[in-house]
């Protein structure tokens, strides 16, 4: 499938107003307008994100109920259980709740289910065998619980209260928990629906700390500094691929600074095994190096290993756990590659499957722990929703991934009669299904995708911020581009285009990266630019001329020096 090429055209008046107010490069003003930031005030706030601009947690439905019940449990010395999800978002949410409540002197423990043996979410078995068996009186969920109806009802029989903190989509009739703090519940008007699970947990702590301050609790105990938890909030937020705008942008920018400081031994050790040498970590480092390793423990062994890594204050323990997690990641990569290649071979043998608008595939040979990653790769390759299901006897567990043109949660909701359980959000979800219902689900899901999306929604479009002549590239522009970070969903790294590009020289670096010296137009090479094109086929011949390129612009730093460098995204 060919990619469409779309140069964005922001509102000219908005661009001029932003440029005048911020005294910035016109390209920067255009990028901000392309992101929907159309006023000088909004642009100034975007460029200087501050924790002082975080919205109040009081707007979240049930927040007051949750805070009062948790405070009551602390004062009464009741046993509290944090029940977290096994992905990075859930692990970090669990970790910040534990860290805060431990400092508050709570009688606190935690539980994260085994990804493969137990599956996602709070279940009735957890109430009976984990909570009731250990005298738990209050459960606080972290990044899960919004669809745990049966578990909540079982908890009532044992007189266990449940406070749900979550961000996943939920049905109109949610569980009858004591409190459900979820900005995506239908009756919540907080405007915080983009928060990750760890962001919701952080907001709970903001409200809880203030209430405890009002109750003079901190007169006897040092008040925790919530800003020190933002490194974990940034990890979970970036890993969960939520929009990096508003509160998420503020929390992530603050957290990245903390990650750079190296104060948390677990993150410092993880950066070492990832070979992140530079002083400044970015969202790319988190998304493609740190987060996959933290997830790998849960996919190949148990997520508790990652939680222990993030929570430890001992440097030797951190280094040992980081090495173990790195080994798990290597195993995960091998298994992921094997599954991905197997699926590609199957699609090559049965090409008619690619005529469908959705890919729904299953096998009794797959490890459910890697299916989410493989599904994401298939979405990128074939640009359509993907559901992969690992069958074990009469049942299957699966992961689903989508793209912005199709709301995955709503699609699965339309097929809910075919599924045992499901949960997630518009781009990612998990599900359980009876093997006998696979064929029916495949048909119904295809119908849902066809009915809820248009052809153009499932067509890959390369959105370019601006045409940028090589002569307009300067050190000042690269510095201003850096100020737009952190990049991610909702604030993608700016993409530019330039035409009539000549290749002056090139060489292969690493195994499959091509480093080049490029110039634009037929004139002198004085404005030549260093460029690199990652993940190419080194066997393919290199043309002497590109009609057009799409590229990003970054600093290339080495030996204390730095020069602007083009990162080629696409050649045309």
Summarised one tens digit per residue, pLDDT across range 228-272 is 999 999 999 999 999 999 999 999 999 999 999 889 999 999 999
Dist CA 131 CA 411 (whole Å): 34
The stretch 326-340 carries a mean pLDDT of 96
How many domains, the chain?
Answer: 3
Residues 137 and 220 occupy one common structural domain? yes
Q: Which two tokens stand for residue 111?
A: 């539980």
Residues 100 and 221 occupy one common structural domain? yes
Q: Which two tokens stand for residue 173?
A: 């009739």
Residues 162 and 66 occupy one common structural domain? yes
Residues 491 and 361 occupy one common structural domain? no
316 found inside a domain: no
Alpha-carbon 349 to chain mean position = 33
Per-residue model confidence as pLDDT tens digits over 69-126: 999 999 999 999 999 999 999 999 999 999 999 999 999 999 999 998 998 899 999 9
163 found inside a domain: yes
506 found inside a domain: yes
Give residue 214's domain range.
57-236
Give the range among 270-279, 299-308, 392-401 with minimum mean pLDDT. 270-279
Q: Please name the residue ranges forming H helices in 383-469.
A: 408-414, 438-452
Residues 452 and 563 occupy one common structural domain? no
Q: Which two tokens stand for residue 106?
A: 């709570």
Find out whether 434 and 415 touch, Cβ atoms under 8 Å: no
Residues 362 and 508 occupy one common structural domain? no
Residues 474 and 528 occupy one common structural domain? yes
Residues 417 and 501 occupy one common structural domain? no
Confidence of residue 278 (pLDDT cuts 50, 70, 90): low
Q: Any idea what DSSP says for residue 488?
A: B
The stretch 369-383 carries a mean pLDDT of 94
Residues 92 and 200 occupy one common structural domain? yes
66 found inside a domain: yes
- Domain with residue 524: its CATH number is 2.40.50.460
Q: Is this model's pTM higher than 0.85 or not?
A: yes
Q: What is the dihedral of CA 295, 297, 299, 302, to 10 degrees?
A: -120
207 found inside a domain: yes
- Domain with residue 401: its CATH number is 3.10.310.30
% of the chain residues with pLDDT over 70: 97
Tell me how many helices (H) and strands (E) the chain has.
19, 18
Dist CA 155 CA 139 (whole Å): 9
Beta bridge partners of 464: 7
427 found inside a domain: yes
Find out whether 265 and 314 touch, Cβ atoms under 8 Å: yes
Examine residue 429 and say whether the peptide bond preceding it is cis (omega within 30 degrees of 0): no
Residues 368 and 497 occupy one common structural domain? no
The stretch 61-67 carries a mean pLDDT of 98
Give the range among 148-157, 219-228, 273-282, 303-312 with minimum mean pLDDT. 273-282
> Is 436 exposed, middle or buried, given 0-12, 13-18 or 19+ CB atoms closer than 10 A?
exposed
267 found inside a domain: no
Per-residue model confidence as pLDDT tens digits over 476-493: 999 999 999 999 999 999
Reported for 117-121, long-range contacts at CB under 8 A and 24+ positions apart, including other chains, are 119/397, 119/430, 119/432, 120/85, 120/86, 120/144, 120/423, 120/430, 121/85, 121/145, 121/147, 121/148, 121/151, 121/421, 121/423
Find out whether 195 and 183 touch, Cβ atoms under 8 Å: yes
Chosen domain end from 432, 458, 484: 458
Chosen domain end from 458, 484, 507: 458
Dist CA 240 CA 259 (whole Å): 17
Dist CA 290 CA 92 (whole Å): 13
Residues 504 and 435 occupy one common structural domain? no
- Domain with residue 114: its CATH number is 3.90.1640.30
The confidence score (pLDDT) of residue 1 equals: 43
Residues 427 and 481 occupy one common structural domain? no
Distances from the Cα of 226 to the Cα of 73, 208, 536, angstroms: 21, 11, 44
416 found inside a domain: yes
């Amino acid at each position: 499938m060919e990619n469409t090429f779309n140069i964005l055209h922001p509102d000219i008046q908005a661009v001029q107003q932003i440029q005048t107010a911020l005294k910035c490069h016109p390209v920067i003003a255009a990028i901000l307008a392309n992101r929907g930031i159309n006023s000088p005030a909004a642009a100034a706030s975007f460029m200087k994100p501050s924790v002082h601009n975080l919205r109040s947690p009081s707007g979240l439905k049930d927040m007051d109920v949750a805070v009062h019940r948790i405070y009551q449990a602390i004062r009464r010395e009741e046993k509290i259980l944090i029940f977290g999800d096994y992905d990075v978002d859930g692990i970090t949410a669990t970790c910040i709740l534990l860290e805060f409540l431990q400092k508050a002197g709570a009688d606190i423990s935690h539980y994260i289910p085994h990804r493969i043996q137990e599956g996602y979410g709070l279940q009735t078995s957890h109430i009976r065998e984990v909570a009731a068996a250990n005298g738990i009186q209050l459960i606080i969920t972290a990044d899960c619980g919004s669809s745990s109806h049966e578990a909540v009802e079982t908890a009532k029989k044992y007189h266990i209260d449940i406070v749900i903190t979550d961000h996943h989509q939920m049905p109109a009739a949610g569980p009858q928990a004591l409190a459900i703090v979820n900005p995506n519940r239908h009756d919540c008007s907080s405007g915080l629906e983009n928060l990750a699970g760890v962001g919701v947990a952080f907001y709970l702590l903001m409200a809880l700390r203030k209430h405890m301050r009002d109750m003079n609790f901190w007169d006897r105990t040092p008040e925790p500094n919530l800003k020190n938890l933002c490194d974990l909030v940034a990890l979970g937020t970036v890993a969960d691929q939520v929009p990096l705008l508003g509160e998420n942008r503020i929390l992530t920018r603050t957290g990245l600074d903390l990650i750079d400081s190296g104060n948390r031994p677990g993150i410092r050790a993880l950066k070492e095994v990832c070979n992140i040498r530079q002083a400044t970590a970015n969202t790319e480092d988190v998304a493609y190096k740190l987060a996959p390793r933290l997830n790998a423990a849960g996919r190949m062994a148990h997520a508790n290993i990652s939680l222990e890594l993030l929570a430890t204050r001992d440097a030797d323990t951190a280094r040992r756990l980081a090495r173990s997690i790195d080994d798990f990641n290597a195993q995960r990569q091998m298994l992921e590659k094997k599954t991905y290649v197997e699926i590609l071979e199957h699609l090559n043998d049965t090409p008619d499957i690619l005529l469908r608008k959705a890919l729904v595939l299953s096998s009794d040979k797959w490890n459910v722990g890697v299916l989410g990653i493989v599904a994401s790769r298939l979405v990128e390759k074939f640009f359509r929703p993907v559901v992969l299901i690992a069958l074990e006897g009469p049942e299957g567990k699966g992961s689903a991934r989508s793209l912005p043109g199709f709301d995955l949660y709503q699609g699965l909701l339309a097929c809910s009669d075919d599924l045992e359980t499901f949960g997630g959000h518009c781009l990612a979800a998990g599900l359980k299904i009876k093997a006998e219902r696979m064929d029916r689900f495949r048909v119904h899901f295809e119908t849902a995708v066809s009915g809820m999306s248009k052809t153009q929604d499932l067509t890959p479009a390369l959105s370019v911020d601006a045409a940028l002549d090589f002569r307009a590239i300067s050190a000042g522009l690269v510095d201003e581009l850096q100020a737009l970070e952190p990049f991610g969903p909702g604030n993608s790294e700016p993409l530019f285009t330039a035409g009539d590009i000549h290749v002056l020289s090139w060489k292969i670096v690493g195994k499959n990266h091509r480093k080049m010296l490029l110039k634009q137009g037929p004139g002198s090479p004085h404005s030549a630019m260093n460029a690199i094109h990652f993940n190419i086929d080194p066997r393919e011949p290199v043309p002497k001329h590109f009609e057009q390129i799409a590229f990003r612009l970054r600093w290339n730093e080495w030996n204390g020096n730095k020069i602007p460098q083009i990162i080629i995204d696409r050649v045309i």
